[in-house]
Chains A and B, each alone.
Chain A
Amino acid sequence: MSDSCPHPRPLARAAIHPWRAAIPVFFAGLALAACGEREAVWDRARDMRGPLALAGHLAWVDAALEELVTVEARARDGGGFDFLVVRQPLGRRPVLLAASADRTRALVVTHGTTGGAGYEAEEERLYRLDPTGREAPVVYELRSPFDALALSADGRWAVAFFGSGDAVNPNELAVVRLDQPPAPETNPRLLPVRTYGSRPLAVHFLENLTIGDRDRQLALIFSARYVTLIDLEHLDRRMTTVFLSARASTDAVVPAALAVAPGDATDPEGATPYVFLRAPGIAEVFALALKDNPEAAADQNDFGPTVNEIPVPAPPDDFAVFDGPDGALLLAVHGRTPGVTVIDPRTTAAWDVRLDAAATRVRIFPEVPTRDGLRQLALLWSPGAGQTRAGFLVLDDVQTRLRRNLETIDLGAPVQQVLPTGDPNRVLLVHDVYSGSLSILDVADRTVVPLGVRVGTGALATHPEGRAFFFAAPGRNAIAELRLDTGHAEDLRLDAPPAGLYALPGRTVGSTRRGRALLVDHGWSSGYLTALPLDAPDRAAAGSLQGFLADGFLDIDAGRHPAEEVP
């Protein structure tokens, strides 16, 4: 409130005529009305990101109030749940919410503010937060408004970059060691990626990749026409750029996906891993061999890539690595032919296998029991597009047996997704979104068992140990549970229709697991969750929590949000 606001004057003793006395009162009231505007924060537009499933919590970022909201459902001994709601303040303008690799921490990128309008200037930051709120957040100063975050699978590294390219220098990125505390200039470390006309499009991690006789921690950055390798443990060394150009096409090679074949650690010359890349519209696979180079200068990477462009009959839509007799092989699937190509990166030899049904996706099953013993098997299918058939290709000896290793079966309906189950040789097939039907595919005996469950556009969650699937059809006040050990499906009635399902494994606290629950989000803006026991969902043991996203909203610190928008 401005100090310049006029304050009501006391009634003058001389104004003894009643109606004269009323005039200053009237104007005093008007002055009050003019000064008494509502605090700006109350008119802020709602901006909620999430929910994000952590190990034992669901997390949201309330971007309007710049807070992280977490909910833990704690099972009571006698049934039912207690809910713990925690709100933690964040920096200005949170834009991105992610989970740490072990899902025990929430990561939030904020864009800060340049200050003004009552705000103090604040740098862009990466927050690492304990969802229980017991530990103080770890705050890394990113110093640039990155809008994308790549996280290593081991949880040690994060790279923030400009995914949208909307930046003064879109080639800048920040490397963060999440397992170490923040340090000025070194953690995070800001790096400009050497540019050859493009910018970082995606960042991938090659953690613990053995090159020669040492494990390396590498980041591979995709750009149009090239990729860049960074040794994360030696950021002072020069980055390695590998150019990608197609032999048979003048189109720009824009890498879209990678697959990694580890090297042979017993090789006397040291392990040479391969990184395979594919690009849309390019009928080639790029195989990067990463060789140890101990003779490199001190400011150079002590490994060197060589790239082989291996032609395939059509642009690969997907690929996967499997074990061959002399080392890892690549299976590339191309739906346009339709066919697959087996590639040996050491010799660049390739074997084409024509498919009976077009496939654009591949999933490898490494140990499938057959009459001939355990075999590697590839499931080849095409999502949607009316394709109901899928191929099974036995990968052992495929270079010699080719199509004789292929079997094609009808799945009964087009497949949208293939999801793993607790059984490594059984997968859940989510059929097209129109029918919403599901089935279980047993890759060992090639059987498809349709389920009497339809999810349509509803929600689906997998038991963390793969014991069951949970489904929610839109508009129904119920969820369905399918137990994979018995094949038994059970409907469970709720009090409101679900909008999302989250099977949380729980977080380890001493010898117990906390927050292990099946959480049903009913999709209310104010928050409405129902918690069920994860391992034996039961309505009698359920508990609901309503309104938690508005928790404490009357106590909002309006002084922390002085303007309707953050400058």
Chain B
Amino acid sequence: MRRRLLVAVLALSWAPAARATDLRLGADLAWVRDSSFDAFWTNDLFSRFDLCLAYTTVAAVPFRLDAELGYGYAGYLGADASFAAITSELSVHDAYVGLRASIDPPGVSWLRPYVRVQGGATFGLASFRDTSADDAPAYEDWSVGGLVYGGGGVEFVVPLGVFLDPPPAPLSEPMAFGVFLEGGYFYRSALSFDPSIPAPEDEDEVADRIPTTGFSAGDVVLSGGELRIGFVARL
């Protein structure tokens, strides 16, 4: 029995299947429990936009393995730390590559479960403004950290051809569109900020300035469980 099953799996993996290019636009909602995130936002929800391009590298019906290249962005984060009289702002840029393994369940062509792993880098740009000094420029710093994401979900796709009968040639399989729902865990290494007030652009002014040391604001941790929802277009 086990031998037959193995043979069936091998046969399936070598069966021809359509390769595709996916374009995904997602809204991600992470639950960041670390207190440092509270410096930049007034609750624990860290949401960002994500754009991901995927290409099928291994396709064997019903399995498919896609390689991914993506970019995530959150640029709106800002909050006051009353005890320090500091207004903090943070924008986060993620760049990552990943692998996504999916399967077509027999008889349910429009539903595709998948798991994915991603790894890459996070770039954080933070500014801290002293609320007591109206004319004081903001302290600024940037930091780079690593990221790893693992999760799984389902996508609901409808082949574009179902709306046209018969579909024109360019809209033939695998062109499709749909939505995806996904859950996972995002680990980011801590972003460490040692901000200072940027030096003036004028070189003479810089040379004339008293040498100034900034401070160490500490680390912000952006790891947490994440929900993703978005649109997928398959080309």
Q: Which residues of A contact B (CB under 8 A)?
A: 1, 8, 10-11, 16, 18, 21-22, 25, 28-29, 32-33, 35-39, 41-47, 62, 64-65, 80, 83, 85, 494-495, 523-528, 530, 539, 542-558
Contact = CB atoms under 8 A, between A and B. Distances in A.
A62 B36 CA distance: 19
11 contacts: A11-B154, A21-B154, A33-B43, A36-B44, A38-B79, A524-B136, A543-B211, A547-B195, A550-B217, A554-B36, A555-B36
Given A18-B156, A32-B44, A526-B84, A550 B128 contact: yes
Given A42-B82, A530-B210, A25 B229 contact: yes
A547 B139 contact: yes
Interface in B58-95: 79, 81-86
Given A16-B108, A33-B43, A544 B212 contact: yes
Contact of B218 (A1, A22, A552, A558): A552
Contacts of B154: 11, 21
B6 interface: no
B14 interface: no
Contact of B31 (A22, A36, A530, A552): A36
Given A18-B156, A495-B212, A543-B213, 10 more contacts: A1-B33, A25-B227, A37-B44, A42-B79, A46-B82, A525-B131, A528-B133, A542-B211, A545-B215, A550-B217
Contacts, number: 170
B45 A36 contact: yes
Contacts of B133: 523-526, 528
B212 A38 contact: no
Given A42-B38, A44-B83, A548-B215, A525 B132 contact: yes
Residue of B33, B133, B219 with highest tally of chain A CB at under 10 A: B133
Nearest to A82: B213
Nearest to B229: A25
**Most B CB atoms within 10 A — which of A10, A539, A553, A554?**
A554
B36 to A, nearest CB: 4
Interface of B: 29, 31, 33, 35-36, 38-39, 41-45, 79, 81-86, 108, 111, 128, 130-133, 136, 139, 153-154, 156, 178-179, 181, 183, 193, 195-197, 209-220, 227, 229
Nearest to B153: A11
Contacts of A39: 35, 38
A64 B79 CA distance: 18
A526 B82 contact: no
B23 to A, nearest CB: 18
A32 B45 contact: yes
B163 to A, nearest CB: 16
Contacts of A46: 82-85
Nearest to A36: B44
A111 to B, nearest CB: 18
A16 B29 CA distance: 22
A60 to B, nearest CB: 12
Contacts of B217: 547, 550-554
Contacts of A550: 81, 84, 86, 128, 215, 217
Contacts of A524: 130, 132-133, 136
Contacts of B179: 18, 22
Given A494-B210, A551-B216, A36 B196 contact: no
A142 to B, nearest CB: 25
A45 B108 contact: no
Nearest to B42: A38
Contact of B43 (A37, A543, A554): A37
B130 to A, nearest CB: 4
A25 B181 contact: yes
B214 A546 contact: yes
Given A10-B183, A46-B84, A85 B43 contact: no
A42 B130 contact: no
A41 B211 CA distance: 34
Contacts of A494: 210
Given A39-B35, A524-B136, A558-B38, A83 B111 contact: no
Given A16-B111, A524-B132, A547-B215, A32 B82 contact: no
Given A45-B83, A65-B83, A554-B193, A525 B218 contact: no
A64 B86 CA distance: 14
B210 A539 contact: yes
Contacts of A528: 133
A32 B29 contact: yes
Contacts of A42: 35, 38-39, 79, 81-83
A46 B39 CA distance: 14
A555 B219 contact: yes
A53 to B, nearest CB: 21
A8 B227 contact: yes
A339 to B, nearest CB: 49
A551 B195 CA distance: 10
A35 B44 contact: yes
A460 to B, nearest CB: 22
A555 B43 contact: no
Nearest to B40: A554
